[in-house]
Structure 1
Amino acid sequence: MKAGLAIGARHAVSVVVDDSLTVPGVSSEFPGFDDMPRVFATAYLVGFAECAAMGVLAGFLDEGEGSVGVDVCFDHTAATPVGLTVTAVATVTAVEGRKVFFDVELSDDAGPIGAGTHCRAIIDRAKFDARVDAKRQQYEALD
């Protein structure tokens, strides 16, 4: 990771909620989601918070590095209907070795919809991918 990432570094992202980002849009693999309200899904709120945090890190990653989420803790406090814009703002609160900690606030056109904390670990992408592939191969061999 490049030097210079400091506490207080921020990044914001916005998205207009469409049907693909609602609770019924999460996945047909998850029973019960199809009958839920057409509002911004908590699953996507968490993913969107991660997106904002990745945006903070983007300029500080060395060639071959990436980041993975290792901790999330969010409250989703208000529903967002289709058509409104959601904004996530991630702010660095700590940098501890290869771990970066964030506060993330989320809002829509009507006001706050959630907030929480997130931690990302900086990874060597080639080494990470090799470990994942070895794990996959280990379990394929059992079949």
Structure 2
Amino acid sequence: MELGMEHTSQFIVEEHHSAEFLGSGDLEVLATPALIAFLEKTCKDSIRPAMEKELTSVGIHIELDHLKASLIGAQIRCTSEVVAQEGKLIRFTVKAESNGSLIAQGKHTRAIVDRERFLAGLNK
């Protein structure tokens, strides 16, 4: 993977992304677990084109500061940047913005795995 490679994704907060719906809170705002999924998808999508078909990546670590709440209907812009590759591990910095404000920032690590071997290992 190319160091410094950035990728941006856009998401709209829907009811099934809310803390109330997911059970992580009692309010109809973007749940941290849903925000993490948005950021992981952004990272996954950024490196997918550079991988061979039989490979994929799995998230193995996330460190996130969720700084500001977002209402249902808000547009979320997620950005990832590849900051390191150590063998099969790829490290990213991530951030999420809404209406020009930073709502989250952190770090994410993904491991590159062979799809079939990974799934076969789960059945042992």
User: Which range, TM-score by smaller chain?
Assistant: over 0.9
AA matched with 1:84? A
AA matched with 2:106? G
Conserved 8 A contact 2:57-2:113: yes
The answer to whether the aligner puts 1:22 opposite 2:10 as a matched pair is: no
Provide the aligned length of Structure 1 versus Structure 2. Answer: 124
**Residue matched to 1:115:** 105
For residue 33 of structure 2, the aligned residue among 16, 27, 43 is: 43
Say what the alpha-carbon RMSD is for the aligned residues.
1.2
AA matched with 1:7? L
Shift of 1:35: 6.3
Cα deviation, 1:105-134, whole Å, max 9, x if unaligned, reads 101125110000000000001000001122
Unaligned runs of 5+ in 2: none
Percent identity, please.
26
Shift of 1:47: 1.1
The answer to whether the aligner puts 1:131 opposite 2:121 as a matched pair is: yes
**Residue matched to 1:12:** 8
Distance 1:34 1:66, change over 3 A: closer
AA matched with 1:87? R
**Residue matched to 2:74:** 84
Cα deviation, 1:36-77, whole Å, max 9, x if unaligned, reads 110000001111110110011111111210100111000000
Question: Matched residues in 2 for 1:36 and 1:93: separation?
Answer: 35
Shift of 1:82: 0.7
Alignment TM-score, normalising by the size of structure 2: 0.95
Greater gyration radius: 1
Alignment TM-score, normalising by the size of structure 1: 0.83
Question: Matched residues in 1 for 2:50 and 2:92: separation?
Answer: 15
**Residue matched to 1:102:** 92
Distance 1:127 1:38, change over 3 A: same
Per residue, is there more helix in 1 or in 2? 1
**Residue matched to 2:62:** 72
AA matched with 2:48? A
